[in-house]
Amino acid sequence: MNELYPDFSDDEIIKANTEVAVIIFDPETGEILQQGYTDQLAAEAQQPETGKSKLIINEIDRWMLRGEFVDHEDTKKPMFKIEDGELVAKEAHVEKITDMRMPRDGAKKKPIEVDGIGGKEIIGFETVQEPIRVEKAKEIKDIKRK
């Protein structure tokens, strides 16, 4: 493979062949402005415009970027935003997101254990979804009147 990329290190070649999801967002509000896919090497080199920030999304969180998680009825914006460097659900959409999630969206197999003769025995597995991270409650400031 080095013949194709003579100026790249082995690490750079791996990054050039690894697809990642990239989000451009407003650092003040966390609102997602753009999203797309590119290779990891290009994503790391990309510099967002002044006043915007970039986040490379890990593989397990990519499901949050799918088109069905856009509020098509009202705001026409994603149901997720960026907060503390992570994708989080907007409070107004938590119930809808929970209903729309599919098993591949954070599903895990949890063992079903029962007390048996030799101690605990696993009799099967149930599929459970990891809880989604939700945006923090907005702080309400008490304004004192004079």
pLDDT at residue 144, rounded to an integer: 46
146 lies in some domain = no
Range of the domain at 79: 10-104
pLDDT tens figures, 79-102: 999 999 999 999 999 888 888 877
pLDDT tens figures, 15-30: 999 999 999 999 999 9
114 lies in some domain = no
* Structural domain total, the chain: 1
Which candidate, 30, 20, 121, 113, places its Cα nearest to that of 78?
30
117 lies in some domain = no
pLDDT at residue 142, rounded to an integer: 44
CA distances from 50 to 27, 47, 138 (A): 11, 9, 26
Structure confidence at residue 139 as a pLDDT band (50, 70, 90): low
- What is the bridge-based pairing of β-strands 107-116 and 119-129? antiparallel
92 lies in some domain = yes
144 lies in some domain = no
pLDDT surpasses 80 at 127: no
pLDDT surpasses 50 at 140: no
- 82 beta partners: 87
What is the Cα–Cα distance from 42 to 40, expressed in whole angstroms? Answer: 5
Residue 80, exposed/middle/buried by CB under 10 A (0-12, 13-18, 19+)?
buried
pLDDT tens figures, 30-57: 999 999 999 999 999 999 999 999 999 9
pLDDT surpasses 80 at 128: no
User: Would the pTM of this model clear 0.85, i.e. be above it?
Assistant: no
What does DSSP assign to residue 100?
Answer: H
pLDDT surpasses 90 at 58: no
28 lies in some domain = yes
